[in-house]
């Protein structure tokens, strides 16, 4: 038994669903193959905080990519609601970066100037302003920077809206279907062999997140990357103690409307090691209570984890695979898959229609790998 489609997308996460929706809107016969349930890995685990910061003076293509995608989100989520009736949880929360130590305080002005250089609105706060915005923040922290344009979505809601819209416009999804091999005709990929049947397509897109490197090896390609585990906690406090998306280092707190607070996240290079750990959860709870002592009394509703796809240089792989006609990749968005979903869907759709994309993705081309030196991808853990 076999199935024929125009576009075959391997991976039913937020990136695969965004691409499928864009292509379906343009009339392409598109099929997603997902080894489990759609959007239940990194896409489901994400907190949904849509934030972008500049970390250096040089032009950073990823920062510009994030800015371009963030600019789309409000209209994007309105379109999804009009199309499906599903609220994506888009909220203009604003964000606060905390500066608790003397060394960090000395860097605030340079940090704010750096954001201005990259056209990112950021405002240094006085202690009075900080206390007014976040009255429950520990009195030990007296310095912060406000990012008024930061927003959030509820990732389960947003991804459900994306997939529902894609299917409404003709996309299909095959769940619990695992790719076992790729079907070739000479130097062209014409489909895949799964554990159920064969699927044939004019174009096949690898969008399997951290599983993409293994899929690519089945074609003879090397797309080096690692899964980076992140642990998360959902707290509940009916007093709504947190008002903004709070960030310090790797730790963030994302408040929800109803008093829930998502606390994340660790970065652990431990392969696909499932389950949460005492070390990881204890670290996140300690950090949350350090910033908001009142959270000592909050309820712990849920803990979970996910695996983010990290490439060798931190930039996604987006583009055609040289030497193999009919094969395309879109993966490696790391901690920004939700943030980058709208712009990624658009540029991939543009490329498949051989149009000039709305954003220059040359820095994300898989071809860049040929000029790169060996990168250390050995296991390590970074909780800070």
* All domains in the chain, ordered by first residue: 2-77+155-224+313-369 (3.50.50.60), 92-149+227-311 (3.30.9.10)
Q: Quick count: other Cβ atoms within 10 Å of Cβ 26?
A: 13
Are the C-beta atoms of 291 and 143 separated by less than 8 Å? no
Q: Give the mean pLDDT per block of 10 residues along the chain (384 residues).
A: 93 97 96 93 90 90 96 98 97 97 96 96 96 97 97 96 97 97 96 96 97 96 95 96 96 95 94 95 97 97 96 95 96 96 97 90 92 60 55
Q: Which phi and psi angles does 108 have, rounded to 5°?
A: -60, -50
Are the C-beta atoms of 19 and 349 separated by less than 8 Å? yes
Provide the pLDDT for residue 122. Answer: 98
Provide the pLDDT for residue 359. Answer: 93
H helix runs in 12-107, sequence order: 14-25, 42-45, 61-84, 102-106
Q: What is the 3-state secondary structure (H, E, C) of 103-141?
A: HHHHCHHHHHHHHHHCCCCCEEECHHHHHHHCCCCCCCC
Q: Quick count: other Cβ atoms within 10 Å of Cβ 272?
A: 10
Q: Please, is 150 exposed, middle or buried when counting C-beta atoms within 10 Å of its C-beta (0-12, 13-18, 19+)?
A: buried
Are the C-beta atoms of 31 and 23 separated by less than 8 Å? no
C-alpha to C-alpha distance for 350 and 344, rounded to whole angstroms? 10
Provide the pLDDT for residue 376. Answer: 60
Model pTM score: 0.94
Provide the pLDDT for residue 379. Answer: 60
SS3 state of residue 31: strand
Are the C-beta atoms of 40 and 367 separated by less than 8 Å? no
C-alpha to C-alpha distance for 379 and 343, rounded to whole angstroms? 31
Provide the pLDDT for residue 177. Answer: 97
Q: Which two tokens stand for residue 79?
A: 């379109």
Beta bridge partners of 328: 205, 320
């Amino acid at each position: 038994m076999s199935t024929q489609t125009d576009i075959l997308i391997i991976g039913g996460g937020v990136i695969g669903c965004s691409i499928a929706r864009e292509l379906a809107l343009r009339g392409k016969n598109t099929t997603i193959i997902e080894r489990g349930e759609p959007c239940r890995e990194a896409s489901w685990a994400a907190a949904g905080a849509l934030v972008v910061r500049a970390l250096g003076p040089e032009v950073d293509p990823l920062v510009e990519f994030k800015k371009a995608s963030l600019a789309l989100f409000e209209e994007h989520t309105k379109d999804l609601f009009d199309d499906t009736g599903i609220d994506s949880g888009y909220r203009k929360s604003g964000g606060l970066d905390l500066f608790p130590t003397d060394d960090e305080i000395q860097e605030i002005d340079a940090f704010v100037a750096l954001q201005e250089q990259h056209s990112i609105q950021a405002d240094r706060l006085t202690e009075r302003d900080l206390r007014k915005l976040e009255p429950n923040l520990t009195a030990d922290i007296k310095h912060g920077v406000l990012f008024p344009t930061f927003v959030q979505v509820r990732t389960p809601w947003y991804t459900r809206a994306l997939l529902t819209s894609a299917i409404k416009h003709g996309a299909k999804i095959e769940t619990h279907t695992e790719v076992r091999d790729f079907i070739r005709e000479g130097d062209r990929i014409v489909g895949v062999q799964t554990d159920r049947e064969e699927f044939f397509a004019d174009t096949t897109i690898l969008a399997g997140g951290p599983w993409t490197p293994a899929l690519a090896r089945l074609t003879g390609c090397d797309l080096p990357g690692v899964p980076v585990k992140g642990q998360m906690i959902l707290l509940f406090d009916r007093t709504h103690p947190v008002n903004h998306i709070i960030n310090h280092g790797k730790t963030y707190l994302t408040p929800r409307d109803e008093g829930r607070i998502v606390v994340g996240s660790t970065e652990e290079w431990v392969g696909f090691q499932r389950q949460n750990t005492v070390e990881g959860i204890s670290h996140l709870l300690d950090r949350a209570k350090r910033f908001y002592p009142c959270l000592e009394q909050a309820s712990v509703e849920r803990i979970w984890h996910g695996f983010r796809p990290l490439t060798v240089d931190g930039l996604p792989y987006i583009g055609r695979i040289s030497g193999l006609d009919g094969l395309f990749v879109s993966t490696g968005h790391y901690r920004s898959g939700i943030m980058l979903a709208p712009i990624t869907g658009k540029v991939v759709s543009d490329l498949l229609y051989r149009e000039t994309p709305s954003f220059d993705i040359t820095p994300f081309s898989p071809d860049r790998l040929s000029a790169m030196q060996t990168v250390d991808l050995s296991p390590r853990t970074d909780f800070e």
